[in-house]
């Protein structure tokens, strides 16, 4: 992609209304545009990041046997009445048609996936079943702030699983937890598996995946010596108390929830009369689990964790491009050649071919945060200046070395 042709420009100044780093940097660099509080457009660059995150999540959901579907965002009122959600879920957006019918916008999809599964599940032989989607969600959040961390419209991966018994559910639950840790690690995030209440449906404990950041809205207690972590909202412990697992003193921190896993029990199966015939031919309700990942929130959390005072520093796995080629005055032709060669070798590259000063181009490269910057200058003959976004050193190397380093670093 050529920066000169990109309609969304890097801005000189940060937006005036930004209350968080992700909001400031994502808007200024041109990854997102705000329509109103909690509602954003993703630009070509922002969409690439979102898709990279989405694809990492998709790969791992497929690997544990999830079947991807895409459910509607527009729901009939009846499904939400069936579960009690119509009257009890405060964030549910409700709308009326011109013929006076009521609808809801999907804030989650238990109400849609359970009747759908009813068409698929008849016998224990149809179980287990795991369906997932990656889709926009709508929530009438009271305060939509913190950039893309809390949207009224946001991108989520939600998976729902159906099991013959609790033991089978537990087995899958552990698989999902492991997949989540793998997903967040691949994106450069350390997620803490955090005990929390099971939400409105159940007395059971759920697990939230928390990333430490001051931009988050959750408070947790965690242990540095082992993996113990608990949401402060439900915690029976306090800061400095002995960790219930290993005895080390607990620490307090702010965190953002990037995902969670819930044991839904039989609540939704009972609401929708979803049953299956077990091995003895008796009718039984399946056990359900649900598993969310905030795709757009994760993008914001990555920016909160990976930036400096000059801009974003994308981890390689989610970066919109592998390399950012800066063409300095007088080296434009050679820069295009480098850019084309990178592409031919399967390296995604952004070319800054704008008629701008070197200073402006370097500032844009820092702001955009692509992990490797390649400067093509008339001073260097055919050699290329290689610089990683998170390091200060510059190396002067030839094109073959650039290609090798891009593939291996």
Smaller CB separation from ligand ATP, 49 or 372:
49
**Token pair listed for 285:** 């309700």
Q: How far is the CB of 222 from ligand ATP (least distance, A)?
A: 17
Q: How far is the CB of 258 from ligand ATP (least distance, A)?
A: 5
Number of residues near ligand ATP (by CB under 6 A): 15
When asked if residue 259 is in the footprint of ligand ATP (CB under 6 A), the reply is: yes
Strands 229-231 and 287-294, how do they pair? unpaired
Q: How far is the CB of 113 from ligand ATP (least distance, A)?
A: 14
Smaller CB separation from ligand ATP, 180 or 276:
180
End-to-end CA distance of the chain: 22
Q: How far is the CB of 151 from ligand ATP (least distance, A)?
A: 4
When asked if residue 216 is in the footprint of ligand ATP (CB under 6 A), the reply is: no
Q: Which one of residues 110, 111, 257, 271 is an interface residue with ligand ATP (CB under 6 A)? A: 257
Q: Which one of residues 31, 138, 154, 272 is an interface residue with ligand ATP (CB under 6 A)? A: 154
When asked if residue 156 is in the footprint of ligand ATP (CB under 6 A), the reply is: yes
Q: How far is the CB of 94 from ligand ATP (least distance, A)?
A: 17
The contact mask relative to ligand ATP for 11-40 (x = CB under 6 A, - = no) is: ------------------------------
d(CA 313, CA 345): 24
When asked if residue 139 is in the footprint of ligand ATP (CB under 6 A), the reply is: yes
Q: Which one of residues 22, 28, 79, 260 is an interface residue with ligand ATP (CB under 6 A)? A: 260
**Residue bearing tokens 């630009």:** 43
Query: Apex CA 156: angle with CA 215 and CA 321, to 5°?
Result: 75
Of 20-28, 171-179, 294-302, 360-368, the segment contacting ligand ATP by CB under 6 A is 294-302
Question: DSSP string of 226-262?
Answer: SS-EEEGGG-S--TTSBPTTT-PBPEEEEEEEEEEEE
Q: Which residues of 112-138 are buried (b: 16+ CB within 10 A; e: fewer)?
A: bbbbbbbeebeebeebbbbbbbbbebb
When asked if residue 220 is in the footprint of ligand ATP (CB under 6 A), the reply is: no
Question: DSSP string of 169-231?
Answer: HHHHHHHHHHHHHHHHHHTT---EEEEEE--TT-SSEEEEEEEE-TT-SEEEEE-SSSS-EEE
When asked if residue 305 is in the footprint of ligand ATP (CB under 6 A), the reply is: no
CB atoms within 10 A of CB 27: 22
- List contacts with ligand ATP (CB under 6 A): 108, 139, 141, 150-151, 154, 156, 257-260, 292, 294, 296-297
């Amino acid at each position: 992609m050529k920066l000169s042709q990109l309609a969304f420009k890097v801005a000189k100044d940060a937006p005036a209304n930004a209350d968080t780093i992700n909001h400031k940097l994502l808007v200024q660099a041109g990854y997102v545009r705000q329509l109103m509080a909690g509602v954003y457009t993703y630009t070509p660059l922002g969409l690439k990041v979102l898709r990279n995150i989405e694809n990492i999540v998709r790969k791992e959901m497929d690997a544990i046997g999830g079947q991807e579907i895409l459910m509607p965002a527009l729901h009939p009122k009846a499904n939400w009445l069936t579960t009690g959600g119509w009257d009890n879920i405060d964030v549910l957006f409700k709308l009326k048609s011109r013929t006076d019918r009521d609808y809801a916008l999907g804030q989650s999809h238990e109400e849609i996936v359970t009747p759908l599964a009813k068409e698929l599940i008849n016998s224990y032989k149809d179980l287990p079943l795991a369906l997932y989607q990656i889709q926009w969600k709508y929530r009438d959040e009271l305060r939509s702030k913190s950039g893309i961390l809390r949207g009224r419209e946001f991108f989520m991966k939600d998976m729902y699983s159906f099991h013959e018994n609790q033991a089978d559910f537990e087995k899958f639950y552990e698989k999902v937890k492991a997949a989540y840790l793998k997903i967040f690690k691949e994106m450069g995030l350390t997620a803490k598996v955090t005990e929390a209440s099971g939400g409105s449906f159940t007395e059971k404990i759920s697990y939230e995946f928390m990333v430490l950041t001051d931009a988050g809205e959750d408070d947790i207690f965690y242990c540095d010596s082992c993996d113990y972590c608990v949401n402060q909202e439900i915690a029976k412990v306090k800061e400095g108390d002995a960790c219930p697992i290993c005895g080390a003193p607990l620490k307090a921190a702010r965190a953002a929830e990037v995902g969670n896993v819930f044991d839904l029990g039989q609540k939704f199966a009972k609401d929708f009369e979803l049953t299956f015939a077990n091995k003895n031919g008796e009718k039984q309700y399946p056990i359900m689990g649900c598993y969310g990942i905030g795709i757009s929130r994760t993008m914001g959390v990555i920016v909160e964790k990976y930036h400096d005072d000059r801009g974003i520093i994308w981890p390689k796995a989610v970066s919109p491009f592998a390399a950012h080629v800066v063409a300095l005055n007088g080296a434009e032709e050679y820069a295009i050649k480098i850019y084309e060669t990178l592409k031919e070798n399967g390296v995604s590259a952004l070319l800054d071919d704008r008629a701008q000063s070197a200073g402006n181009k370097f500032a844009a490269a820092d702001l955009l945060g692509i992990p490797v910057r390649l400067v093509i200058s008339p001073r260097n003959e055919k050699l290329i200046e290689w610089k990683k976004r998170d390091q200060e050193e510059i190396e002067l190397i030839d094109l073959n070395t650039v290609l090798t380093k891009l593939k291996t670093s």
